[in-house]
Structure 1
């Protein structure tokens, strides 16, 4: 009986193929279940809601929807004439308050001068009364009484002048306080006038422009959104099984669905909580536990914030908040951690 090697070869080939298939299947399983990557990425950006700080009719709109603007560019203007008038009125009130303060200052000078004269008059009458009292033997009693009465009258007049001086000082302080208040009103009117020109606080893109010439703009009511062009980032929603492989600072490869553009970035933070949809809080602030339990559990997705390296963004690439992307966390940091 001769030996036939073909069956053994076929068996060996089949065994090798099966082993390779098992190894490949295991690797693919680990890749899809545990490797730090996801296709569930979203481009996000900081959105500034532009609202006027003053109210009035819109007299000029300086931008169009989706326009790129620089920090400090005028977006729209509100009723300049009305706020020019308000500033002029406030300045007039300030001038009037300053005039009143000067008048109060002049009045107190006059009152103080009168009080000094009354003091001198009192000193003279008091001296005369004392001298007549000392010469009681030769000065008649009637003259001594008259001198004392004149001194008392001079004292009363002097005290009245002092009280007038205190009242004048209070009036001057009140006038000076009115000047401060009027100056504050002028500063407020000048600030309101500056705020009639609504300017871009950052470099960015105008979107959802909802203002037209002739509209009435109310204070604090947003009229457009401004997307900060330097604030784009990625939120990657990673399955919880992949979180152990993620660390803040890990480099990330980003591939946009729009054209397959590759960008670079790094992890800046991992969310510390998501909503538990199965166990909401009841009306009595007690846990509303779901009485049923699904034995097949899907891994929850946790948001991971990723900063985009601006240097890696091509000039002709348009980034828009809401775009989707695939995210692959590089393993270099993992190898570095193992080495350390």
Structure 2
């Protein structure tokens, strides 16, 4: 059995342990202080300049493809997930009706041109008629002058014979012939004057007809006449309708939500499919309203996609702010005027434009989850 240690030795052991522990605690406290100071300095000098959120998703302005003309679908040349370029043929509508409409419109245009040319030619003919009626009026006036001379001669001759009739110097037959000649001259004068009135009326009518025809062609040519312009516009519309039977991609992208089938009867404006332009994808980051005090348009942004993990980063800039919060544009907006109101921090969508080259290297799809961090210390314009 071992001998017991002296009391002085046993009392010295805890003192030595306490002496060794005190420097360790001081060192630990110093390390914690240094870390706290470093963290505070890092946050004040660097960390506080960033705002971030993982409530962000990719989005894009999807191009809805609809036909401009009605008809029966003859061909569908794409399927969902197929990549297309702007101008590629997506579907073809049967063009039989459109071709017939174009042929009819071209015939109407040709007829309108011929009709206007007829107006021009008719103007020349009507001008000749006006000149002829004017000549007839002048001839009628000349006949009136001759009839007036005959009438005056017959009147004087009758007056002489009537003066000599009482003395017997003129026979009764001569007097009768003079009276008949006077009556005939008077009738001829009346007829000549009536002919002048008729000629003048015909002349006036011919001028009116020409003026009415001139209104149809005044200030125009057969090429720019309103009737021709109208027929040409109808022809051009029919030609465009024929071209629209071939439905092309408005933008490049990936086909999605294809609803059209061969043989389907479609109306103008009916949705057929959508084209998603993946090279124009942006990010809608839903920041809390309390985070946006220092956020400005143009500030640089770092974005990470859950699809590629944290090692892959995208870079871009703040492109703009939504006009309202998500709650403001909800189908059923919140009724904050009720008595059961509870304040909820709202989120405002911020649009982030991504670097096109990075987007081409790592393509994204619509609706993917993203993490966004904005450098608010960088320069930018006011939102």
TM-score above 0.5: yes
* Partner residue of 2:348 out of 302, 311, 320: 302
Residue in structure 1 matched with residue 6 of structure 2 by the alignment = none
C-alpha change, 1:56 and 1:27, in structure 2 (3 Å) is farther
C-alpha change, 1:279 and 1:288, in structure 2 (3 Å) is farther
TM-score by length of 2: 0.73
Deviations 1:239-291 (A, max 9, x none): 2232123221111111111122211111111234212699845xxxxx62343
Contact 1:257 1:325 in 2 (8 A): yes
Deviations 1:173-196 (A, max 9, x none): 8x9544333222211110100111
* Partner residue of 2:286 out of 202, 212, 237: 237
Contact 2:279 2:359 in 1 (8 A): no
State the superposition RMSD in angstroms: 3.5
Segment drifting more, 318-327 vs 101-110: 101-110
Contact 1:62 1:76 in 2 (8 A): yes
* Partner residue of 2:246 out of 197, 206, 212: 197
Describe the SS at the equivalent of 1:39.
strand
Aligned length: 326
Residue in structure 2 matched with residue 158 of structure 1 by the alignment = 203
Looking at structure 2, the residues matched to 213 and 221 of structure 1 have their Cα atoms a distance apart, in angstroms, of: 15
1:210 is the counterpart of 2:259? yes
Looking at structure 1, the residues matched to 41 and 256 of structure 2 have their Cα atoms a distance apart, in angstroms, of: 46
How far 1:11 moved relative to its partner? 3.8
Describe the SS at the equivalent of 2:292.
helix
1:267 is the counterpart of 2:318? yes
Deviations 1:158-209 (A, max 9, x none): 1222233344446778x95443332222111101001111111122221111
Residue in structure 1 matched with residue 171 of structure 2 by the alignment = none
Contact 1:125 1:154 in 2 (8 A): yes
1:71 is the counterpart of 2:71? no
How far 1:324 moved relative to its partner? 1.1
1:53 is the counterpart of 2:68? yes
Contact 2:79 2:258 in 1 (8 A): yes
Looking at structure 2, the residues matched to 25 and 292 of structure 1 have their Cα atoms a distance apart, in angstroms, of: 39
How far 1:327 moved relative to its partner? 1.2
Describe the SS at the equivalent of 1:245.
coil
How far 1:81 moved relative to its partner? 2.0
Structure 1 gaps of 5+ residues are 282-286
Segment drifting more, 237-246 vs 17-26: 17-26
Residue in structure 2 matched with residue 323 of structure 1 by the alignment = 368
Describe the SS at the equivalent of 2:293.
helix
Describe the SS at the equivalent of 1:156.
helix
Alignment of 1:1-340 (within 5 A): 5-19=19-33, 35-130=50-145, 137-138=152-153, 142=186, 143-169=188-214, 177-260=226-309, 261-274=312-325, 275=327, 280-281=334-335, 288-293=337-342, 299-315=345-361, 317-330=362-375, 333=378
Contact 1:33 1:241 in 2 (8 A): no
Looking at structure 2, the residues matched to 139 and 246 of structure 1 have their Cα atoms a distance apart, in angstroms, of: 117
